[in-house]
Chains A and B, each alone.
Chain A
Amino acid sequence: MSKNEIERFFPNLRMSGYSVTSPETPEYNCIAWAAWDNETWWWPDAQHLYYWPPEIPRTETLEAFVKAFEIFGYTVCNNVTNEEGFEKIAIYIDSHGKPTHAARQLSSGNWTSKLGSLEDIEHKTLGVLTGFSYGIVGIIMKRPKKE
């Protein structure tokens, strides 16, 4: 998909500078990508069609998503600053508090996001993806970087 199509969903990207870092694919989504998985579509859908960690409640709530990332050693934190020795993820929520998206911080301090079935992008701030598509950032989590 062209950058123009991406920017149709995320108009804030137009001014901020970003790069497309993968081809588009429906094979994995942002939640998987935040968890370093590029082979699976994660979602706690009621039809049980997609992958969701079996020990985590299959509900579309921020609490369930936080629990899912806690499995991987993440804990809730209160800032987006790039901290040496830690990696961070951000979970976006809509106006009802339902998770919509997740982004993962890169060692540069930039963020990487898989945009639904579209491409991965690298973006400078979390704010550029806020708006009508993904809502707002609901929570930040961090874990010590693995050596």
Chain B
Amino acid sequence: MILGYPPNYYSNIEIVDTAVGGESEKMREEYARMIEHYFLPISTQFANPETRFLTLKTQWEADTAMLSSATEIAMHPAYQQIIGMGHTAIRFILVEMKKKPGHWFWALKSITGEDPVLPNQRGRVKEMTQAWLRWGREKKYL
């Protein structure tokens, strides 16, 4: 499986290591990205909401992991598309947050119009995550 996508798309693809070293590995990673884009057309990616969410999430994480700017992180086109999914995305986001804390707060606040995070928890990502997971359980998303 490549980058968390369904394995059936890649079952016949084998990427063979032909060299060692950083440059080789980088080329191999870029090749994997290229294959992913070729074999996973947008129509397929977006047919199922969960697949769509995971596709956008992977793209967002890959492009923004090194950013500190909360604004830049949230303005990424893939993140904006997740917000555009509306209430459909809430459960997917909360399930993701349960697995691993991440910067989903902007999306959740934008979609729901709510913010269960207390002022003294601002920036405390673990506490912010717990506040949203509590909210999700109360609202029966989890």
Q: Chain A residues near B115 (CB, 8 Å)? A: 49
Closest residue to B71 on the A side, CB-wise? A45
Assess the B102–A43 pair: CB atoms within 8 A. no
Assess the A27–B125 pair: CB atoms within 8 A. yes
Evaluate whether A50 and B122 lie within 8 angstroms (CB atoms) in the complex, with A26-B103, A27-B101 already known.
yes
**Distance in Å from the Cβ of A89 to the closest Cβ of chain B?**
14
Assess the B109–A27 pair: CB atoms within 8 A. no
Partner-contacting stretch, out of A1-9, A68-76, A80-88: A1-9
- A21 in the interface (beta carbon within 8 A): no
* A17-51 interface with B by 8 A CB criterion: 24, 26-32, 39-43, 45-51
Q: Give Cα A50–Cα B123 distance, bound, in whole angstroms.
A: 4
Q: Chain A residues near B111 (CB, 8 Å)? A: none
Assess the A116–B26 pair: CB atoms within 8 A. no
* B10-61 interface with A by 8 A CB criterion: 22, 25-26, 29
- B64 in the interface (beta carbon within 8 A): yes
Assess the B29–A1 pair: CB atoms within 8 A. no
Assess the A47–B109 pair: CB atoms within 8 A. yes
- B95 in the interface (beta carbon within 8 A): no
Q: Chain A residues near B71 (CB, 8 Å)? A: 43, 45-46, 60
Assess the A117–B122 pair: CB atoms within 8 A. no
- A136 in the interface (beta carbon within 8 A): no
List 20 contacting pairs A-B, 8 Å CB cutoff, sorted by A: A4-B22, A4-B29, A27-B126, A29-B68, A31-B68, A39-B124, A40-B124, A45-B74, A45-B106, A46-B71, A47-B106, A48-B122, A99-B69, A101-B68, A116-B64, A116-B66, A116-B73, A117-B64, A117-B65, A117-B66
